Amino acid sequence: TDEYFELDLPVAPAVMVGEDIVVEGSDVSDEKLESAICKHLGLPSPKPKKKGVLSRWMGN
């Protein structure tokens, strides 16, 4: 609606952390969301999760 656009909010679906738009119009990975939350709280970014042999082989 016009009222929603006047609020200058992101298009749904969206994820915001504080005033930052993490993602707009698509899914977000757990790692990206966790990193954005840590940044907002002034914490160090989490270490990337290790991939298992099967995940590396499958390209996930």
- For 42, phi then psi, to 5°, come to 75, 25
Domain carrying residue 44: 2-58
pLDDT at 9 over 70: yes
Q: Rounded to an integer, what distance in angstroms lies between the CA atom of residue 3 and that of residue 1?
A: 5
**pLDDT at residue 53, rounded to an integer:** 76
**pLDDT at residue 7, rounded to an integer:** 83
Q: Rounded to an integer, what distance in angstroms lies between the CA atom of residue 56 and that of residue 15?
A: 28
Q: What is the pLDDT of residues 10-51, one digit of tens each?
A: 877 888 999 888 988 888 888 899 999 999 999 998 887 777
pTM of the model: 0.63
Q: Rounded to an integer, what distance in angstroms lies between the CA atom of residue 10 and that of residue 27?
A: 14
Q: Domain total for the chain?
A: 1
Cβ atoms of 33 and 22 within 8 Å: the answer is: yes
pLDDT at 60 over 70: no
Supply the DSSP symbol for 20.
E
**pLDDT at residue 10, rounded to an integer:** 80
